[in-house]
Structure 1
């Protein structure tokens, strides 16, 4: 018996599978992944999210068609936003630590690979002496060259692996801080609010047509997604309010800037022509102007182009 379960803390997983039982191709096709740490198949990014009912039902139907007995146990409740995001931050911290350890191992392996290459090069005749064909040293010389070439390739590959691991560790280390920057939170709230409005429009149409969550699976999914978005918007709005109310990081606003000052966006400075409700109009090198949203402004200077302007001050 295979059991597909969904809980807020564990996400969507399937129990009862075993290696070589034939379920892997079906689950891979349906978008499931194998979790080595949990030794089970799971739907990615399903923890503390609304269950993806259509994918679950599609997977169950495909498995039943292949001759497997499948049951489902779906918990549609959502945890409090603070608890959900706290746990996610802990997972991100653990992942960053694991990637940092991996990067250190890869760097050590790269150093060892270079040491082996140096040792192999030391065995070559000095001065780049050519191979003496027919001489008793020919075979030894060719073996030494082969070792030097092999260790050189291994060192290059080890360097690439170390750089890749170091970059992954660097990105993971700043992922949590990045998620909580005011600009990122602002854009997230804007995006989620737009998604919520779209869902509400669709639900209004379904209700007008006489559908309910009990009669329409799609409407049921929309209501679950709506509850998830409302929870997340409430959480992130509270985070932004706390940032604005304390000495935490803040966004630039209309009150901070004025025509004639300078703003920095993506490393480029622009002169402000007009200050609007949600953006500033800036001059360009051409005959037209551009608009920069406040959440894209990383820094600002007064009209003298030197005096810093701090948001909220």
Structure 2
């Protein structure tokens, strides 16, 4: 029997039956229309051959959808929905074999329905066609669950039933004019007839993933289409309405599947944007609170959705907070158990993958063409699948661990131990209360949930902050700083001096020309007056330059006195530095010296004028000196005089120099150690060492070693006298 003959025998009860009967048997689809509404990548050769007409022929999908909507049971469906159902059915039945399977299955189901009805009505004067007609009319106005419920209510008490079954349009005979026992049998047959009917004829099927390659589409076996799960749990309440839940302070939209489908696509999209669906409640829950969802409520009223009485009892913020912590604790335990279980399964799967390959010897290749090739490949594939399941299980266990940790953080409520968090929440809720009191008239906001929540949160966080302060945590406020007389505060930028104490913050210095404000929740500590550090002295302004100061600047400074000097005998002598005078004495001496110089200049000018006037210049008398002594003085001044100091004298002079010009710390660091450069105790080395005592060591002065590392060619070892002196000293 051909598919066309089977389609002729099929009764149109569902939307799929209409597509199989009308589209396949009578109205082929135009290919251009299918490309416009469907997916080009899923147009397989079988689909083109089965359902599409040649180019330029056939009917458009929107016209076919209108023909299907002409049937009474499909009149309430949207046109886009019908087009999507046609595309889904044709894609899932793109071969004659799959279509034949569907047609034979539906014919068998319809035959079984007729047989069951005829068995029940063997003693009742009602035809099975009347039952089928009644069911068709009933499903057009009632969903399947509601129809079954009404039938069960009728069977329980037929005399007291006044439900919607009595309003269903009859076909030939009135089924409810029969005796009570026969009416019950009729309704039981109605239950049997509706058993194999779809729950909602308008329910769509999920779209399949797009196929980019035509070869993949042809080579892949298409599974049977799965029915999309309805998001509604309780579709018994027919009207759609919204209400306020006092316990959660959210807006809830309750609706049945039928009423939901009657809404426009734009209305459904708007509700989905502002709400989230809750499966346990079977309703849409608003994202915002009831008081804040003003736009959502105004749009629902425009859609004609009525508002029902509120439900539940209002709970305090502390009760909601404790309930949230309790749920988080339970969620943490649940995820922890789930993570352990998933990780154990992952480890078992990995161990199984390893054990499966132990039967194969190490290095055993696949014997192509051998009878073991198929089993070998299958075993490797099974092992690989098990290992992949184990790896994915480990990743899933790690995810569950993260969820458990996150839930545990919520349950611990560690933010209640952070004074900054508590102070910010107090400030935020105080601001909300002030806003209500300023912008709302008295008597209009005291019962609003936003105001009541702000009052409860303010009291809750203030109590937690007081408990935190009692435990020893530093809590800063305007009264505390003023009472303690604080002069500096510590925050993330360190200690800063207080300029002004404000109502909500403290103005502090920055070290520059501007100031900054620090909120009280960022202050970690403060410093009272008693612990205030002494202020640094500001540099005084330099006085105006006087004639004396200019003269001081004009006078050339004397060169610094050398630390070592050579006398007329050719011996180096360590000069003892003069004692430093105080600042006042030094200033007085400078001033007196300047005055003396001014006077000397005046006297010299006067004497010069007198001498010029008298034209008599008397040369200063010179002291008589011997030529040899003068020669020695000149050589000593030029540094050309060779010293005749003994090593012992050099050592004594070096020690005197060490004690006079070097600090105790430098002596303690230098004397115990010996440098690589050790000098012999000679006059030239003494001068060299005195210039850089940290670079060299002088034997007998700042080293205990007698091994000279730097010496001249003619310079020998230390003499006996020097060695004896070093031993004694």
Task: Compute the TM-score of the two structures, normalised by the length of structure 1.
Answer: 0.64
Equivalent of 1:8 in 225, 228, 246: 246
| CA RMSD in angstroms, aligned pairs only | 4.4
Pick the aligned partner of 2:298 from 44, 53, 57.
57
1:150-176: CA deviations, max 9, x gaps?
A: 233322322222222222222222224
Listed one character per residue, the Cα deviations across residues 91-135 of structure 1 (whole Å, up to 9, x for unaligned) are 331233124213311331232123112212221235454433333
Q: What is the rounded CA distance, in whole Å, between the counterparts of 1:290 and 1:150 in structure 2?
A: 64
Contact map agreement 2:331 2:407 (CA 8 A) in 1: no
Find the aligned partners of 2:255 and 2:354 in 1 and give their Cα distance: 51
Aligned-residue offset at 1:231: 3.7
Q: Offset at 1:281?
A: 7.2
Relative distance call for 1:281 and 1:165 in structure 2 (3 A) is farther
Matched residues in 1 for 2:464 and 2:320: separation?
A: 16
Aligned-residue offset at 1:188: 1.7
Aligned equivalent of 2:307: 71
CA distance in 1, matches of 2:391, 2:508: 49
Give the match for residue 180 of structure 1. 416
Which residue of structure 2 lines up, in the alignment, with residue 159 of structure 1?
A: 394
Alignment counterpart, residue 225 of structure 1, candidates 450, 454, 474: 450
Structure with the larger strand share = 1
For 1:191, the equivalent position in structure 2 comes to 428
CA–CA separation in structure 2 for the residues paired with 1:292 and 1:172: 34
SS in 2 for 1:14: strand
**C-alpha distance in 2 between matches for 1:170 and 1:53:** 37
- Is this contact kept in 2: 1:280–1:291, CA < 8 A? yes
Structure 2 equivalent of residue 308 of structure 1:
none
Aligned to 2:344: 111
Is 1:168 aligned to residue 391 of structure 2?
no
Q: CA deviation at 1:5?
A: 1.8
CA distance in 1, matches of 2:366, 2:515: 69
Count of aligned pairs between the two proteins: 267
1:259: how far off?
6.1
Residues 1:34 and 1:71: Cα distance change in structure 2 (over 3 Å): same
Partner of 1:310: none
Structure 1 regions of 5+ residues with no counterpart?
214-219, 303-313
Cα shift readout 1:218-267 (whole Å, capped 9, x = no counterpart): xx8xx7634543442233223323433x3275546786998697x7x6xx
- Cα distance between partner residues in 2 of 1:258 and 1:105: 56
Q: Is 1:258–1:272's contact at 8 Å kept on the other side of the alignment?
A: no
Partner SS for 1:5: strand
Would the aligned equivalents of 2:352 and 2:386 in 1 still touch at CA under 8 Å? no
Q: How far off its partner does 1:30 sit?
A: 4.1
Partner SS state of residue 307, structure 2: strand
State the SS of the aligned residue for 1:70: coil
Q: How does 1:129-148 map to 2 (within 5 A)?
A: 129-148=364-383
Q: Which moved more, 1:186-195 or 1:20-29?
A: 20-29
Output the CA distance in 1 between the equivalents of 2:280 and 2:300: 22
CA 281–128 in structure 1, closer or farther in 2 if over 3 Å, else same: farther
Structure 1's 260 and 187: CA in aligned 2 closer, same or farther, altered over 3 A?
Answer: closer
Shift of 1:11: 2.8
Identify which of structures 1 and 2 has the higher relative contact order when contacts are C-alpha pairs closer than 8 Å and 6+ apart.
1
* Aligned twin of 1:84: 317
Aligned equivalents of 2:302, 2:400: Cα separation in 1: 40
- Indicate how the Cα distance of structure 1 residues 13 and 148 shifts in structure 2: closer, same or farther if over 3 A, else same: farther
Q: Which residues in structure 2 correspond to 1:248-263 (within 5 Å)?
A: 251=475
The more displaced of 6-15 and 85-94 is 6-15
* TM-aligned CA distance change 1:271 to 1:116, over 3 Å: same
- Structure 2-normalised TM-score? 0.31
The CA distance in 1 between the partners of 2:494 and 2:276, in whole Å, is: 49
The alpha-carbon distance between structure 1 residues 50 and 189, as it changes in their structure 2 partners (threshold 3 A), is: farther
Structure 2 residue runs without a partner (length 5+) = 1-238, 528-729
Aligned to 2:279: 36
